[in-house]
Amino acid sequence: MREWIRSHLTYANVMATMAVFLVLGSGTALASYVISSNSQVGPNTISGHHVSGGAHPNLIAGSVGSKDVADNGLTGGDIKEGTLTNGQVRDFSRSIAAAGAGPPPRDMLTFKGLTLSSLGFIGQNPLELGCILQATTTDAGRIDSSLIDHETNRNTEAFSNSDATPVDHKQLAIAFGGGSRLVGQFVFHDKATGRTLTGTYSVDVLGGSDDINSQGCTWQGTVTAAG
């Protein structure tokens, strides 16, 4: 009998026997320590509930929460906009100091076929800061823009016109010089999707009018989609 046992005593048999005793003895002891570090799990190994082929979900349904997702980690195609309370509304904003002005334009918002960009620049005659709001779309349609309010004693302009789209960095508004401010609105009729985007915005040149080093640009606004 001893010879038979000795001849069948292998590493695999011993480990299997130990596993049985651990499970029977403590129930959860083995399960708690099978994996003790991240390095013991290969890449692309653990599945969520969106699986394909022969894989099966390993995550407990409803167990992934806010703490498991990095701040601002879900964007674009990862979010179904229709499930959001404000899925049809987007805010945008940006601020820069005069020292940070200059091309290229910076995109502030891309929303349902329309991109809004900001551009700050230094004018030379006279020396002053300029702040521009621009719109870009590759979809066919029309964009209408109009002025709501502005500083009448400043070199500030909101374009009140209508352009066929597509447009590439169409200028919606320009504010010049410290203390300047304008408020405007636009409507984008997207023929490709049948959707209408309505936006309101303000463009401000902060700081004193006689010291360009103290000046800065601020853009902010809201875009609402219908359809």
Statement: the pTM of the whole predicted model exceeds 0.85:
no
* Each residue's pLDDT tens digit, 18-32: 554 544 455 454 455
| CATH number belonging to domain 89-226 | 2.60.40
- Using H for helix, E for strand and C for coil, what is the string for the chain? CHHHHHHCCCHHHHHHHHHHHHHHHHCCHHHHHCCCCHHHCCCCCCCCCCCCCCCCCCCCCCCCCHHHCCCCCCCHHHCCHHHCCCCCEEEEEEEEEHHHCCCCCEEEEEECCEEEEEEEEEEECCEEEEEEEEEEEEEEEEEEEEEEEECCCCCCEECCEEEEEEEEEEEEEEEECCCCEEEEEEEEEECCCCEEEEEEEEEEEECCCCCHHHCEEEEEEEEEEEC
Which residues of the chain form CATH 2.60.40?
A: 89-226
pLDDT string in tens for the chain (227-residue length): 555 445 555 555 545 555 545 444 554 544 556 777 777 677 766 776 676 666 677 677 767 766 667 765 666 566 655 555 557 999 999 999 999 999 999 999 999 999 999 999 998 877 889 999 999 999 999 999 998 887 655 555 556 789 999 999 999 999 988 888 899 999 999 999 999 999 999 999 998 877 888 899 999 999 999 98
pLDDT at res. 23: 47
